[in-house]
Amino acid sequence: MSTRYYFSWFYGFLPEKLVRSLHEDIQGRKSLVLISAQPSDYAGDQVDYADISELTWLTQADLIFEECHFIDYRTQKEEAARLIAEASVVFLCGGDPVRQHDFLAEYDLPGAIQKSEAVIMAASAGSLNLSAAWLRTEDPEDEAAAQTLYEGIGLDRFAYETHAKRDHATFAQGYLFPLSEKIGIYAAEQESAIRVKNGKIDVLGSVYFISRSNIQKLSETL
């Protein structure tokens, strides 16, 4: 089973501890495949890899690949599946989680990712869609706000929540509590990440685990 990384968002360089972990886990560096979370924004344009933050993180961390591919609507479905099957690393990018969710389903990519032996990475919206489930709410501070539950790729049996400027007090308001009665939730602040490897979950930064309406801040182990 592959190693998975779930990032919140990083506004500069990846933390040194995370970089060391990535170098340990990413042994094959033939092909990096990035999956867009804004897949319909670029029709007809060439991919500008300099604008992809996730690729910049890896480059700054001296994780250089022989090939780099970006999957969006410019990519044929069959080609997308082939690229994932041959990838050393598959990275689900940040952006719009709903659009990425729908794109993944339209291109039948969850199955390809589930079968992949690559290291699987995700950031922000990508982390939501990599997890088993995630909750979209119109206003987390309004208990009556409309909510939609989305099913993710589900390589790991937990839900994921990532947002800017959230903290324990916000999570404690309880908008995730109903979902936590059904499935455990990892809720990550910015500049945070979790790694799943050989059945063990390691934590970097401020990450909370919510289960059955109880909140626990997790200690760093990465």
Average pLDDT, the chain: 90
**pLDDT at 190 exceeding the cut of 80:** yes
Specify the pTM.
0.92
Q: How confident is the model at residue 136 (pLDDT cuts 50, 70, 90)?
A: confident
Task: Break the chain into its structural domains and give their ranges.
Answer: 4-217
Q: How confident is the model at residue 12 (pLDDT cuts 50, 70, 90)?
A: confident
**Distance separating alpha carbons of residues 191 and 160, to the nearest angstrom:** 15
Among the CATH numbers 1.10.3720.10, 3.40.50.880, 3.30.70.20, 3.50.50.60, which is that of 4-217? 3.40.50.880
Q: Which of 87-96, 126-135, 160-169 has the lowest mean pLDDT?
A: 160-169
Phi, psi of 184 (to 5 degrees): -70, 145
Cα 77 to chain centroid distance, Å, stands at 21
Q: What is the mean pLDDT of residues 185-202?
A: 94
Summary count for the chain: helices (H), strands (E): 8, 13
Q: Which residues of 10-44 are buried (b: 16+ CB within 10 A; e: fewer)?
A: beeebbeebbebbeebbeeeebbbbbbbebeebee
Q: How confident is the model at residue 86 (pLDDT cuts 50, 70, 90)?
A: very high
